[in-house]
Amino acid sequence: MRFFTVVLLLSALAQSASALPVRSEARVYVDDITSLRADPALLPADVDICSHGTTPGGEQYLVVFCDAAQLDALQESGLRVEVTWKDIRDKFRAMTGLEPGDPTGREFGYYFNYWEMRDTLTRLAQQYPQIVTIDTSMRSYQNRALWCIKISDNPGANENEPQVFFNGATHAREPMGTHTCIAFASLLCQRYGTDSLATWLVNNREVYIIPVMNPDGYVYNSDSGGPSSYWRKNRNNSGPRTGPGIDLNRNYGYKWGYDNSGSSPSPGSETYRGPERWSEPEVAAIRDFEAARKFRCGIDFHTYARDNLYPWAYIGTSPPELALIREIADTFQANNGYTTGQWYNTLYNSNGVSIDWELADTLLDGNQKFISYCITSELGINDFWYGWDNPSYVDAEVALNIPNCRYLTRVCGAYLEPLSVVVNDTGSGNGDGRLDPGETAYLWFRLKNRAVHLLDTAASVTATLTTSDTMVQVLTPTVNLPSVTPRHGQADNRAMQIAVQASPNIAPNTPVDLRLTATFLDDGVSITQPLTYRIFIGTHAGIAQSLTPDPQPPTPCFRAFPNPTRSSVTFTAPPLNPGTPGPLAPAVSIYASDGRLVRTLFSPNWDLTDGSGRRVAPGVYMVRFASGNETRLARVTVLE
């Protein structure tokens, strides 16, 4: 009887999956994406826009999901339309090897589903109770928790330390963001106490992470509809609507409903903004959560397009403090290599989105809202679920974005960087600007504050100097420095220099590491940060040695030479697994900027031709060298 019940259940699920309306994936080609999206008459109403891209020849397109009627309308519109998948369930089948509707496919493959996310955060809290707390008070429409992990050295208290916020899966079909959030949380926990940077960040910051902002839609994709349904919105089915769900990233209060192309008034649309601003409990909960804190910056992770997007999304005019916002976005691009720009002009217009509200100077209950500088990062290629059975791809994509998490966690508060150290021996030595054997000199240190928020001036700065060499004695170890303003404000101790004396027995050209430990107030919170400098005895004046805290050793590089190139390129890589040297193998995969596989090589040389032997078009290509479960990435620019 039990077996018979299981068979009936499997049969019912399969029939339910087959009864779902067929939706197709298509590319809609256009000269200018922004003009296409801004004019709703050019697209059928409520078409589901998934991503965008540019062909090697420079032609722009949108990737859309559409039903049969919408596909007919697209094909009759005069726009060039290429159907890439007649049925998106076939695409899901091809990516995962699973049948849509099969209960064994209700999981998310290598990605975390909601329950795995919950269990992972719970384990982190159990393993690292001294730095982790969990908050499940924020609830969804169906009363599921928006699990929030806080990582700090005293997580149970609000210490007013600088705060940063990361989140994923606002849209239910975008698990890469969830994966990235969990990866960063795990990294901070696992490296706390052993890695100097991770330890300093946890001790001096409050890091908040919500890996799944849309738990109801996320659970629907794993437990009910199946990922092949590609559900995007939440699961609010109240009121007289044609279909359930509201797009949570069109429901924020700033510029909500600004126009009907950046969000939709139609309940059947994938960008339905809801009946009023803040109508959805998930979004209202995030509003109150952020309003109760002072988040300087953050990342809203989405998929898929490989974009870093900054405000505004609702209009193409420049946001305030554009130079600062571009600096943040440019740092993102330097780390992950993604296309970077203003949301409206890079993607398409959207209104009622999170990052616009976070930047906007609006009032909440009569009080001025705290300004946050946040970026939307669109991760991944090919599909929302691409990477389901490809851990190396997922891990490599996540690895491209972890540096941005570290970067924002550093600069969400006062963060000092060393610039240089000057040796002053004019009155105490021979006046050559060097510290010579047997000489006494005075040192003054230049530094800057990388904080992005105007709140984060480093005030009441004191500094204590120590050296790595017993043959250099510090005579006046502690000094006061001027306050250091944020956004690259600089300071030095030239008015109160530190006296040092070199032993007459120290050899010329000996490197001497100097550690200047600065203690300062940031928004009333006392922070201590070591800065590392280096001088060479008798050789030249000192220079700043490195960022501080000391960074981790760099990962061995996968390189392309020459790059850029006009004729050919050779790839080199160290062994992915130490102790297993060998040729570049088993494969180098070359992708176009839109994620399309151009060619797979089994040698270290590429003659700039695709799999058909045709020379590729000029542009930027992503190259992936994979072996087992490990991956290295590089970018190659092909010139005309």
Q: Which two tokens stand for residue 537?
A: 């005895």
Per-block mean pLDDT, blocks of 10 residues, the chain (640 long): 36 46 89 66 77 86 90 87 92 81 70 95 96 98 97 94 98 97 97 95 98 96 83 81 80 95 91 95 97 96 95 95 95 93 91 97 83 97 92 94 97 96 90 92 95 97 95 95 96 94 94 96 97 89 48 52 82 53 58 76 86 84 69 74
Q: Would you state the CATH architecture of domain 416-544?
A: Sandwich (2.60)
The Cβ-side half-sphere exposure at 299, using a 13 Å CA radius, reads 30
Range list for CATH 3.30.70 in the chain: 2-105
Predicted local distance difference test score (pLDDT) of residue 544: 52
Between strands 163-167 and 295-303, the pairing is parallel
Question: Which is the CATH superfamily of the domain at 121-411?
Answer: Zn peptidases (3.40.630.10)
Range list for CATH 3.40.630.10 in the chain: 121-411
For 392, the 3-state DSSP assignment is helix
Predicted local distance difference test score (pLDDT) of residue 578: 40
Do 512 and 535 meet the contact criterion of CB atoms below 8 Å apart? yes
559-638 fold: Immunoglobulin-like (2.60.40)
Is the domain defined by 2-105 classed in CATH 1.10.1040?
A: no
In sequence order, the 6+-apart residues with CB closer than 8 A to the CB of 174 are 168, 301, 302, 303, 304, 384
350 vs 80: CA distance, rounded Å: 24
Q: Spell out a b/e string for 282-298, using b for 16 or more CB atoms within 10 Å of the CB, else e.
A: bbbbbbebbeebbbbbb
Predicted local distance difference test score (pLDDT) of residue 576: 41
543 vs 197: CA distance, rounded Å: 21
Residue whose C-alpha is closest to residue 241's, from 208, 263, 266, 216: 266
Range list for CATH 2.60.40.10 in the chain: 416-544
Q: Which two tokens stand for residue 130?
A: 């001294």
For 368, the 3-state DSSP assignment is strand
98 vs 450: CA distance, rounded Å: 48
612 vs 609: CA distance, rounded Å: 7
Q: Which two tokens stand for residue 339?
A: 């296309």
Specify the DSSP class assigned to residue 21: P
